[in-house]
Amino acid sequence: MAAGAFFWGYVLFEVPSNIILEKVGARLWIARIMITWGIISGLTAFATGPYSFMTIRFFLGLAEAGLFPGFVLYFTYWFPDRYRARINSGFTLALPIAVALGAPISTSLLGLDGMWGLKGWQLMYILEAIPTVLIGVWVFFYLTDKPSKAGWLAPEERQWLDARITGETKQIEAQHGVGVLRSFWDPRSCCCR
């Protein structure tokens, strides 16, 4: 039931989250996702029973919604179509690698039972939430929304990349049209940014 509560929140807010990301910018919205996701994940340590646990899981789903597709959308701002599949596959491959590397850490945190008067599972949720929040803060200050705003690129690099991405987007829009409603029935239209 707790897994279901998570996915109810996730599914309800997935599309609105990505619409908001497009409107307010990737830097702000991905940072918001990571910070609220980390905080709510840490609050799981204070669940006192099945109802509080399911409620926290529901809000965790709301907070996390849009992270993966948000990054996929973000990649469309930075990588020309020719390179995008490689970038997306690398990002997708990071998930099982993170799980494989994180599982022993989580297991060792469970062994800290009694530290600070908390159970091992509570410490695990709190200590694993801290890096997520810190990375979210880093994203807020250092992630660049689009190539046109990248002060760390040379002006000619910025112009070339921006022109390439804009040209590809215009070509796809002219060929297929783009719209929120259309993306529900035409999978090509939702990935053309």
Listed as ranges, residues in the chain with pLDDT below 50 are 190-193
Separate counts of helices (H) and strands (E) for the chain: 7, 0
| pTM reported for the whole predicted model | 0.81
Q: In residues, how long is the chain? A: 193
* Confidence (pLDDT) at 60: 95
C-alpha 55/C-alpha 33 separation (Å) is 18
**Nearest residue to 188 (alpha-carbon basis) of 81, 45, 88, 49:** 81
**For 163-174, what is the HEC assignment?**
HHHHHHHHHHHH
- Cα gap 7→138, rounded to integer Å: 27
pLDDT at 192 (0 to 100): 46
Tokens of 83: 């390179």
The Cα–Cα gap between 44 and 114 comes to 17
C-alpha dist (Å) from residue 163 to 78, 144, 147, 173:
11, 17, 10, 15
Instruction: Return the DSSP state at 187.
Output: T
Phi-psi region of 106 (alpha: psi -120 to 50; beta: other; left: phi over 0): alpha
